[in-house]
Chain A
Amino acid sequence: MAITSAPGATRAAGRPAPSPPPGQRRTSLGRKLRDNLTGHAFLIGAVLCFAVFSWYPMIRGIVMSFQRTRRGETTWVGWDNYLRILDDPSFWTAWKNTFYFTLLALILGYAVPFFVAILLNEFRHAKGYLRILVYLPVMLPPASALFLFKFYAYDPSDAGLFNAILKALGLPTSQWMQSPDMTMPAMVIASTWMNMGSAVLIYLAALQNIPGELYEAAELDGAGIWRRILHVTIPQTRLILALLAMLQIVATMQLFIEPLILANGAGAEDSATSVAYLIYQHGFFQNDLNGAAALGVIMLVVLAGFSAVYLRLTAKQD
């Protein structure tokens, strides 16, 4: 897959047990046991953390989603929590909003950094400056960056930065977060601005590893810039592109802080409600942790579907 360090290093992954190094013939049963114990001793810290904070919550979440706790007493309620969650009119709105955000983010937040990286990679001057610029917003605490957008950029009056610019250019102004149609695009813009730096850097790293001869050869074949991007750059960075696409989808499905800060929660007519926000609302506003757990399980199922499709697609390519 995409991440490795030294070439030709992938063979160890699926190998069963280590073959004894040459010169070590006294492999007794006790010795083996000791080796295994040592191996597990090194593992134990991480395994415990996984067990307590990942594997166990996974099971606990599923169990919780079939229970209900009231006044300290927990009872089994079957599918009640799921039915309640599905009945919530905000449920479908939240999914619709989340998918819409994911889609917009794939167009904007995913493609833009790639092309910015290609562009930056071509420059022989001011490289450091441009990289620092792109990475600068990543340094802001996310809440800070979003307050900047909320208070200054997306101010719906003409005093707002964006509207002032639009007005100066003679373009129609927008209500931004107050317009249900603009809510999602506005959130994607803010989110892309504050997050794209890392993606750009990762792409730049990938681009620098493309052998120059490939471009050379393509150019000799008479391929123009676009064809070279299409036939050299993209295939050569395919794995990292696929990996980041997956990470991006998983990340955007968890859309939370943007609606919370930019839209004060649900936004105009629920236009900013995301699934993650709904989980938060059920769990911590409506005193319904069990319903929130059920929603979490639903989200897991949806993402598992995504992963399956993803694996199918990438497996085919390999």
Chain B
Amino acid sequence: MAQDSGTRTLISQAQLRRGPGRAIYWTLLAVVIIGFTLVFLGPLYWMVTGALKSGQEIAQTPPSLFPQEPQWQNYADAWNNLALAKLLFNTFYYATGAVLFQLVFDTAAAYSLSKLRPIFGNAILGLMLATLMIPAMVLIVPQYVTVIDLPILHISLLDSPFAIWLPLVANAFNIFLLKRFFDSIPEDLMAAALMDGATPLRTLWSIILPMSRPILGVVSIFAVTAVWKDFLWPKLVMPSPETRTVSVGIYAFAGGTPMNVVIAASVIAAIPTVIIFLIFQRNIMSGLTTGGLKG
């Protein structure tokens, strides 16, 4: 299934079809396929089968390739004891919320900064972009103290999903991405719409957003990944077991759970995302590749 992409890359098509080039190409491809499979799939195999081994078998030298007596119980224990269903639900719930909040607020803000350009807009944008250089770790303590006792309102967001959603809205990178994209939409389109008496919201909804699907896709992917990958923040602001994310939950239980069960839990936790990824991989890949990240 040779696909001719047609675009010229580092090495020309012709060179790869001819004698030695062709041999090298196929050898390299074989090596890479085998190598990558071992490097990226191998550990996952080890994980899935390792979770089936008994404590004794794990400590055996040299390690066995197949579990001698598969301990399916480890998976059942992991599912039940760690309340994985709850942890997974929480994580997806937070991820969904994060996507919605970021899409609504960041898109609105980027739209305003790009098209409506209110007074002080550039100053605000500057202040937002300044936070790009401030890593989360620097702010972790004051942010945590703030979430515990919000200024003026004096409420605590601990164990509330808003403690994850709202700080994620303050994402200068997303606003920057969206604004750059909106900037590229011709001003004439806006003007024409305004002439027709369309309101800014209407223009955003029916002109800008339909054109912006790829970038919205990218922002969504980033939002989901951020929730999925974050660890310390959810660990701090979601201290109760009922509100934990998968990563934090597995970590919290690891200290008092046999390691095979921890690994079994890790396998189960990975399954839904891997399935989602495999289903949507085409969209995700094309989203990331066409969605505005360019050299």
Is there direct touching of A and B in the complex, by C-beta distance under 8 Å? Answer: yes
B191's nearest neighbour on chain A, judged by CB, is: A21
| A148 interface residue per 8 A CB criterion | yes
Determine if A87 is an interface residue (Cβ-Cβ < 8 Å): no
* Contact A147 B262, beta carbon cutoff 8 Å: yes
The reply on B83 being an interface residue by CB < 8 A is no
Which among A35, A153, A240, A241 is the interface contact of B118 at CB below 8 angstroms? A35
Question: Please, which residues of chain A bring their CB within 8 A of the CB of B187?
Answer: 12, 21
Binding stretch for chain B, among A88-96, A103-111, A174-182, A229-237: A229-237
- Max count, chain B CB within 10 A of own CB: residue among A7, A37, A64, A140: A140
* B74 touches A (CB below 8 Å): no
Tell me whether B8 and A215 are in contact (CB under 8 A): yes
For the complex, give the distance between the alpha carbons of A173 and B134 in Å. 40
Q: Is the pair A209, B294 in contact by a Cβ cutoff of 8 Å?
A: yes
Residues of A within 8 A of B10 (CB): 118, 121-122, 215, 225, 228-229, 232-233
Q: A42-B111, A133-B41 are in contact. Are A215 and B12 (CB under 8 A)?
A: yes
Most buried by B among A47, A153, A303: A47
Q: Is the CB of B118 within 8 A of A21?
A: no
Residues of B within 8 A of A52 (CB): 146, 150-151, 166, 170
Neighbouring B residues of A167 by C-beta, 8 Å: 62
* Interface residue SS majority, chain B: helix
A198 cross-chain contacts in B, Cβ below 8 A: 225
B147 cross-chain contacts in A, Cβ below 8 A: 53
The smallest C-beta distance from B244 to any residue of chain A, in angstroms, reads 11
Are B170 and A54 touching (Cβ within 8 A)? Answer: yes
A61 pairs with B141, CB closer than 8 A: yes
Interface presence of A208 (CB below 8 A): yes
Q: Are B133 and A42 in contact (CB under 8 A)?
A: no
In the bound complex, CA of A124 to CA of B236 (Å): 46
Partner of B137, one of A131, A161, A296: A296
Partner of B9, one of A18, A122, A297: A122
Tell me, in angstroms, the Cα distance from A241 to B127 when the chains sit together: 25
Q: How many residues of A contact B (CB 8 A)?
A: 136
Closest chain A residue to B36, Cβ basis: A133
Report the separation of the CA atoms of residues A304 and B135 in the bound assembly, to the nearest whole angstrom: 10
Interface of A is mostly: helix
A49 touches B116 (CB 8 A): no
Interface size class of B (residues with CB under 8 A): 35 or more
Asked whether A46 lies within 8 Å of B33 as measured between CB atoms, the reply is no
A144→B269 contact, CB < 8 A: yes
Interface of chain B residues 165 through 199 with chain A (CB within 8 A): 166-167, 169-170, 172, 175-177, 180-181, 183-185, 187, 190-191, 194-195
Cβ–Cβ < 8 Å partners of B289 in chain A: 201, 204-205, 208
* Bound Cα distance A164, B258 (Å): 22
- How near does chain B come to A226, taking the closest CB pair, in angstroms? 10
Q: Is B231 in contact with A151, judged by CB distance below 8 angstroms? A: no
Q: Assuming A42-B112, A52-B150, what are 4 further A-B pairs, CB within 8 angstroms?
A: A50-B170, A127-B3, A143-B246, A148-B263
A-B residue pairs in contact (CB < 8 Å), sample of 29: A2-B294, A8-B184, A39-B116, A39-B118, A42-B109, A49-B166, A49-B167, A54-B170, A58-B134, A58-B139, A64-B141, A124-B3, A126-B29, A136-B274, A147-B262, A152-B43, A158-B62, A208-B289, A212-B7, A215-B8, A215-B12, A225-B10, A240-B294, A261-B251, A280-B232, A289-B141, A293-B141, A296-B140, A307-B133
Q: Is the CB of A205 within 8 A of B288?
A: yes
Highest count of chain B CB atoms <10 Å: which of A6, A46, A118, A131:
A46
Chain A residue with the shortest CB-CB distance to B2: A124
